[in-house]
Structure 1
């Protein structure tokens, strides 16, 4: 089983590293971490990730996963990235994304008429690609599986493992990696976070970030 992760500069590393840690444990899986040229890509944490290869060297994916990050604004306008995702998706068993990686799927024409999700601060932009936002941490529509923001990628990976190879396999991997979340605070989503914290974060970060993303999306439509 070929599992392909598509990287680009300024990717959110946990969008990628969370699910790859789990999906790489699938029995029979071979993980391919690729970008345009096989050279290191920058992350939003100040370090780089070295892919296993380039798009040209990548086999056909059984599972293709596209993470998000601020670099999505540039990635959706990059023909090499968008065409690679589109071509791989035609024969992939599962087409997936984490966080704003969904917008790269959208740029490839893979969200039209589908239910999908993305990071909570950007869900209002999904209809620009013809998608309907569904309020859930992980959303499946046919062979399309999209996850919400960042840490949702771990939940997504476990759900996908269960769909691909059964719940016992998923539970075994969950136990092996001791995924037993017990966050110290009740929050992590606007519906469960104090309004002043939500509005403060929107004002400092996400109003402008979502506006910039909308400009980038409209530029390719």
Structure 2
């Protein structure tokens, strides 16, 4: 049995038992997926030098969210240069089996990594190469949420997507983000509608939990927090909340 399936089953049974005042081993009817419900398609962008934690945390959380919703959640790794193997910051080799296709996604997640290592692969190298920022600049369309975490936000900045908009990034890149026109918010996650950003290496957990809550509902986020034994950290700044 897959680890997430086992954890989700245990979490569900425990919650059902507590709610009913019954032992945790009490059986509960399995969730029936609504085949008519629209799927949530998430593309996590890979590039050489990407930080392992930046890419793994959103993938894990959003893939696991499939267990706590009637909607189908499809999470994929994609690379701009088509299906290929990517070498991450600490040497992990990952296969992006899907080509770049933001028109087929509902949520695009851009991790960070390598912004400070300017002589090595990573965000800075991708900015200098230019291809990924240009592709990101062309990606926006109705129905697509573009999100990024840590220094991945600087790829969005290079694409012009954060200019004049509330956003955040890793603390060492905040001054650069602001100089490039971003409206810096000192929040863990900043939600400006179709642009969602998060700051810090571990913020992929909080970004993904917020996206799960926003797209799938509070119960899905609560289920994920229980399964992961992690509670979302920090305050989420949202345009809706701050602008009435």
Q: TM tier, shorter chain? A: 0.7 to 0.9
2:45 is aligned with 1:6:
yes
1:144-181 deviation per Cα after TM superposition (whole angstroms, max 9, x unaligned): 11011110110111111111111111111121222259
Partners of 2:205 and 2:232 within 8 A in 1: no
TM-score, L = length of structure 2: 0.69
Give the one of 82, 87, 111 matched to 2:162: 111
**Counterpart in 1 of 2:186?**
135
* Aligned-pair CA distance for 1:92: 4.3
Q: Size of the alignment, in residue pairs? A: 181
**Counterpart in 2 of 1:54?**
99
* Aligned-pair CA distance for 1:142: 2.2
Moved over 4 A (4+): none
TM-score, L = length of structure 1: 0.76
In structure 1, runs of 5+ residues without a counterpart are 183-221
2:149 is aligned with 1:149:
no
Distance 2:62 2:229 in 1: 15
Distance 2:163 2:124 in 1: 19
Higher mean C-alpha deviation, range 171-180 or range 6-15? 171-180
In structure 2, runs of 5+ residues without a counterpart are 1-39, 67-71, 115-121, 234-244
Partners of 2:110 and 2:147 within 8 A in 1: yes
* Aligned-pair CA distance for 1:59: 5.2
2:135 is aligned with 1:74:
no
Higher helix share: 1
Structure label with greater radius of gyration: 2
Correspondence 1:36-55 to 2 at 5 A: 36-55=81-100
Give the aligned CA root-mean-square deviation in angstroms. 1.9
Secondary structure of 1:26 counterpart: helix
